[in-house]
Structures are given as structure tokens and as C-alpha cells.
Amino acid sequence: MAKKNQLQNQMLPPPQPVAYSWGIRNTFHFLIALLFALLLIVAVYLNQNRGDLIEERTTSKTSGDLLSRCNLFSGKWVFDNKSYPLYKEQECTFMSDQLACQKFGRKDLSYQNWRWQPHQCDLPRFNATALLERLRNKRLLYVGDSLNRGQWVSMVCLVDSSIPSDKKSMHQNGSLATFKAIEYNATIEFYWAPLLVESNSDDPVNHRVAERTVRVQGIEKHARHWTDADILVFNSYLWWRRSQMKVLWGSFDNPDGIYKFVKMPRVYEMALKTWSDWLEVHIDPSRQQLFFVSISPTHQKAQEWGGAEEENCYGETEQIFKEGYRGKATCPEMMHVVDKVLDDLKTRGLNVQMINITQLSEYRKEGHPSIYRKQWEPLKEEEISNPKSYADCIHWCLPGVPDVWNELLYAHILN
């Protein structure tokens, strides 16, 4: 019997280590596959998050190459209703009623569809995310008059749609307006200083005075707000456009100050000298970028482009196509003063880059608000009967010409 049981045991199949080892192998293979899948997911995630930075580096390299081989300011306007406008007026959260021409009744919207085409290259297309990455933990500050404020509004509109509504804010504190992209800890700001130096037109709301007076040696009141900005964009021209200016040596609070009328462009040169001296002392060229925006032309006399003597930009729907056209409102003497001051700063080790908007803006006589903006004061009966009498031929509709000014600035910032 024992022998029979022994024989049966020998005939039974051995234990099943094969099944056990098969389970280990499958578990091992499963873990390998899971690890591979996780690595793949992480790689895709990192690639997506690096995309904007890679694009920024690529754009920066492209911009650098462009600036060395191409004059971005020499070119022509090309109609492009596929790529432009870069944003929609009604979708910009912080659009200004002074510049919202469509909102205030303008029907011909082709002024929004023109792209600036340099003769020798292509202008880098604006990328809001790339700019915001460059501005992370930084201040971009526009300083100047209402034209510079329009360029600031344009820049805010250009980045606005890339930022969720709960991740941005706007704050006004006297002369300083601050747009903040919260996730980037970045600000895009505007500071009202139409003459750069101190003047009796420094109130951001009530600045229309009968007689304009400047303290050509006084700048600290304004400049203390600029000191720690990382990128500074200045302009100042429109408010100097007169034959002479009343100059104060002393304080507006002190009745013993000395007043004297000084002719143009000498008084302009004196003020820019004060401005440039402040920059030389207070700016760190290794950390801060400086820009000066050239003269923004006006189109207040239609006879300059072949129109009737009494006409202006009112009713204009086409640009000027004569290459090299230059109106009389842009004074070459004033432009030479700026060039001289910036050249002198360069010899002192400080580079202020000129954003030359003058020529390209000269062509755009149809780009102004004309009558299509908010009227801050009720119109008189004679004005209503003669619309060209209150047409704004100085500022610019948005979207529009100032967006291109910012595309030029963008190319230089990323350089």
C-alpha cells in the first residue's frame, strides 16, 4: 500500500512555481509600463510648459538678428485683415473711451487692419506670453503725455486676453496708473509727466492751463516714481509745440521765483539735459532698459497731403501712400535735440534706444479718433454743425497705430 501511494505521489504534478513566477514577471512588466507612461506624461507636461520660454528664446534670438541687419522703422503699411487687429476693442478690459473709436460710432474699421512691413525683414509678431515672461517680477513703465498713455493702453490691451480676469488688476494713484499681471508679478504702468520736468500741467486730470510754465531744473518730484523701474519708455514733444515757454527758476510754492520766457527749441534742450543728467546718476545700465519714443505726427491740416485748406483728418478713411511723406507738424529741430541728448548719454555709458515712430505714423492720417471718441465737455451748437471743428487729429484709435509702436518696442525688449 505504501509503495502504491509512493507511486501515485510520483505521478502527481509538481507544485506550481511556474504560475508564481509568471505572476512576478507580469507584475514587473506592468510596473515598467506604468513607469514609462508616467515618464511620458511628465515629459509632455514639461514640454508644454517650456513652449512659451522656448518661443521667447527663439523670438529673442530672431529679434537680435533683426536689429543688427534691418531698419525696422523703414517700410510700408500692408493691408492684413487676417492677422490684424491683434485684439478686439470691445474685448479689452481697460480700453480708454478717448481711443475707442468703434464704440463711439466709427463704421469704417479698416484702420485696424494695417500691418507694418519693414523693407528688409519681417517685424516679429507680438507674443503676449513671451513678453509677460520677460516682465516676470519686473516693472515696465511708460512716462510722458497722453500719446504715451495711449501706447500704454495699447500694451495693456495686447496682453489683456492672455491673463484670466481674476489674475489682473488696475490701480490709479495720482499720476501713476498700474496694470498688474498677478501670476507674473509684473506691472505695466503709466506715469503722467507731459514735459518730463516739473510744470503747472502735472495734474493728471486738470492740466489745461492758460499759460504753461516749466521748472527745467526740477525733475525729482516725478523721477522718484521711476527709480526702480526695469524698463522705461519716455516721450515728450506735443506739449512743447509752441514758439516759447515760460520757465521758472525756483519753486511753484515760493513767490520769489524767477520767471523768464525761453524760445524753442532751447527750452526743450534745457529740460532734456535735466532729464538725461538724472538718468546718468540713477539708472543701472546692467539692469534697466531705456527707450525714447519719437514724435507722434498730427494730421490737422489737410492741405499738407493735397486736401482743402480748411479740412483736417475728419472724414479720412485712407492713409497717405506717398513714400517719405512728412507733414509740417513734426519739427526736425526738436528731433535733432533728442538725437543730440541721446548721443551724449551714450558717451557717458548709458544707452537710450530710440523707437522711431514718426515716419511710419505720418502715413496714417485715417488712424485718428476724429469725432469718434468720448467728449469730455458738452459740444456747442456750432461744433455740432461743423464736426471737423472738434475732430481729434492728434491721438490714435485702438486697435491701431500704437499697437505697431508696441510691436517695435517688443522687438527691442526681447533683443
Q: How many CB atoms lie within 10 A of CB 171?
A: 11
**Listed residue (294, 281, 180) closest to 224, CA to CA:** 281
Q: Would residue 392 show up in a list of annotated catalytic residues for this protein?
A: yes
Residue 56 and residue 127: Cα distance in Å, rounded?
8
Q: Would residue 80 show up in a list of annotated catalytic residues for this protein?
A: no
Residue pointed to by grid coordinates 521748472:
215
Residue 45 and residue 54: Cα distance in Å, rounded?
14
Residue 131 and residue 403: Cα distance in Å, rounded?
14
Distances (CA, A) of 268 to 175, 239, 278, 336: 22, 10, 16, 11
Residue 408 and residue 209: Cα distance in Å, rounded?
34
Active-site hit among 222, 299, 368, 395: 395
Active-site hit among 96, 392, 403, 412: 392
Active-site hit among 63, 96, 145, 146: 146
Q: Would residue 395 show up in a list of annotated catalytic residues for this protein?
A: yes
Residue 415 and residue 409: Cα distance in Å, rounded?
10
Contact partners, residue 147, CB within 8 Å, separation at least 6: 235, 238, 293, 296, 394, 395, 396
CB 106 within 8 A of CB 397: yes
Residue pointed to by grid coordinates 558717451:
347
Strand partners, 404: none
Residue 142 and residue 155: Cα distance in Å, rounded?
10
Angle at Cα 390 formed by Cα 385 and Cα 394, nearest 5°?
Answer: 155
Determine whether 30 is exposed, middle or buried from the number of CB atoms within 10 Å of its CB (0-12, 13-18, 19+). exposed
Query: Which residues are known to be catalytic?
Result: 146, 392, 395
